[in-house]
Copies of this chain bind each other. A is one copy, B any other.
Amino acid sequence: MDERGLPAEDVRKLLSQAQSKDLSYSGGRILGSMCTSPHSLGREVFTQFLETNLGDAGLFEGTKGLESEAVEMIAGLLGLAGTSGLLTTGGTEANILALWAARNKGRGKKVVAPETVHFSVDKACNLLGLRLVKTAVDSRKCADLGELESRIDHDTCAVVGVAGTTEYGTVDDITGLAKIALEKELYLHVDAAFGGFVLPFLQELGYPVHFEIPASGVDSITLDPHKMGLVPIPCGCIIFTDPETQGFIETEAPYLTLKRQHTVVGTRSGAAAAAAYAVFKHLGREGYRGVVKQCMENTIKLYRGVVKLGLAVRTPTINVLAIDCGPEVYDALGKMGWRLSQTREGEMRIIVMPHVSEKVVREFLRDLESVAGDFHV
């Protein structure tokens, strides 16, 4: 740190220089991210509540109430009532909280999950001293339930299912997993970080997707408002179907206004909670349905365009596309400024977020065609 500070105007110039090296979602070239520009009302509200701290919630009882209402609205989205839950810094923290509760509740040290599980589950297991066993998926990239069940043993404390996998957007059979979890008396966590704000609306729109949280068998669910929920970072959510589960991750918090904490982080943003509440209230199910409808229509346009080009592409379940086009095509598109990502198997992976407009889809298809032609794909 320098001895003397710079005038605010000079600092603003330095920041603008730095920001010019950043990409922006509105620039339309980011196709590989599950984040997007937050809703303008969420942005405004976040700024308004910037100094609030839900880690010392007794000082911010109004904001704490907004968090409770936001969590209830999210549980309602899944058709759940009588749950407990918290807003988190994102899906990773939510997945950690779930497996932390499972470990402290159960006796085993092993977690069984399909190989399509998000890498935050690897992280959570390393952190928690758990052993993660990954099981095969079927040709649709969904958990093979027979295979998964066969890997459960006396040391297993939890099973994880995914509703909207990060790589393929596919949805595991949660009802089937819940049956297994009930039979084996295991903790079942569902990672719907991305899919949670897509699947309920796709179902309402009549798309052929199946996602439901059965009345029993599921212990916790992750959903991320800061992905398809259009809420500013940091905003994830964990729902515990049995409010008692939260007690297994309790930390005593002396000298704070509330004496119990249930999050990984201590000080935590109330601004995200207020923003989540605001965006949920402002958009309503109708608003989110519109967002999801637009994303899915653009996904299908992109899918059809790729099929027309003769490239191999998986039929999308939600607004995630995996195109098997070879590394040269992928690299060439990167050089043209497209920010893509890849599945672990090397397919080009595209998340059709709200900032990926129809115009972006057209431009991308045009570039894909030219590049694929160059390489005679």
Contact = CB atoms under 8 A, between A and B. Distances in A.
Contact of A2 (B36, B43, B268, B284): B284
17 contacts: A1-B280, A3-B286, A6-B284, A7-B282, A8-B41, A43-B47, A46-B47, A92-B266, A93-B265, A119-B252, A122-B252, A123-B251, A127-B127, A127-B128, A129-B129, A254-B344, A264-B264
The 3 closest A-B pairs by CB, nearest first: A21-B62, A5-B284, A18-B62
A349 interface: yes
Interface stretch (A51-59, A145-153, A181-189, A206-214): A51-59
A-side interface size class: 35 or more
Contacts of A5: 281-284, 286-287
A234 B60 contact: no
A30 B91 CA distance: 32
Contacts of A267: 35, 89-92, 224, 226, 233-234
Contacts of A2: 281, 284-285
A139 interface: no
Interface centre among A267, A280, A349, by most chain B C-beta atoms within 10 angstroms, is: A267
Given A15-B274, A32-B255, A277-B15, A339 B59 contact: yes
A361 interface: no
Interface string A173-202: 000000000000000000000000000000
Contact of A89 (B24, B32, B234): B234
A50 interface: yes
A312 interface: no
Given A15-B277, A53-B35, A56-B35, A282 B8 contact: yes
Given A281-B6, A284-B6, A339-B257, A77 B251 contact: no
A377 interface: no
A22 interface: yes
State the oligomeric state as a number of copies.
2
Interface string A74-109: 101100000000000111110010001000100000
A161 interface: no
A8 B56 CA distance: 28
Contacts of A120: 251, 266
Nearest to A37: B51
A269 interface: yes
A46 B51 CA distance: 12
Nearest to A290: B5
B51 A92 contact: no
A5 B285 CA distance: 7
Given A59-B33, A126-B251, A255-B166, A21 B264 contact: no
A120 B261 CA distance: 10
Nearest to A339: B59
A206 to B, nearest CB: 16
A56 to B, nearest CB: 6
Interface string A2-30: 11111110010011011111111100001
Nearest to A236: B267
Contacts of A123: 251, 261, 264, 266
